[in-house]
Homo-oligomer: A and B are copies of this chain.
């Protein structure tokens, strides 16, 4: 199967499949004309890589445990590298969530401080707000916009 077929079957772009090969996640034999040749096993692998990436793993991380991914769903994390990588990623995600939660609380405080809105429910994690919402007038900053490149 050529690369276009893999792309079609996996949902990955041709560009991405080439990228996965370049970083060593997949391997392809070559036809006489230089075209990559894949089989059904590669399709499954590319699908799995896509799932991993959507979970937040980088290709570099995936590479560290790709060689111990096994066919039996029951032994998923049986290989310690896989389990370790998953636990690390889990911890990283929870750190990110905590950071986002902090920022969320500060935004809520700022919003609540000004407008007497009551639809901002602010559930768990009570905050002790030394956040000092907004202040400071600075008269000369009117024309600040549009110094930025726009996406072409």
> Among B72, B83, B108, B147, which residue has its beta carbon within 8 angstroms of that of A24?
B147
Give the oligomeric copy count. 2
A106 to chain B, nearest CB (A): 6
Complex formed: what's the CA distance from A145 to B62 in Å? 9
Nearest B-chain residue to A62, judged by Cβ = B144
Within 8 A of B (CB), among A107-152: 107-108, 110-111, 113-115, 132-138, 140-145, 147-148
Residues of chain B within 8 A (CB-CB) of A134 are 48, 69-70, 73, 76-77, 82
Residues of chain B within 8 A (CB-CB) of A1 are none
User: How many residues on chain A are close to B (CB under 8 Å)?
Assistant: 65
A134 to chain B, nearest CB (A): 4
Which A residues are within 8 Å of any B CB, using their own CB? Answer: 22-27, 41, 44-45, 48, 54-56, 60, 63-64, 66-67, 69-78, 82-83, 86-87, 89-90, 93-94, 96-97, 100-101, 103-104, 106-108, 110-111, 113-115, 132-138, 140-145, 147-148
Q: A56, A69, A107 — which one has the most chain B CB atoms within 10 A of its CB?
A: A107
Residues of chain B within 8 A (CB-CB) of A55 are 103, 106-107
Residues of chain B within 8 A (CB-CB) of A27 are 140-141
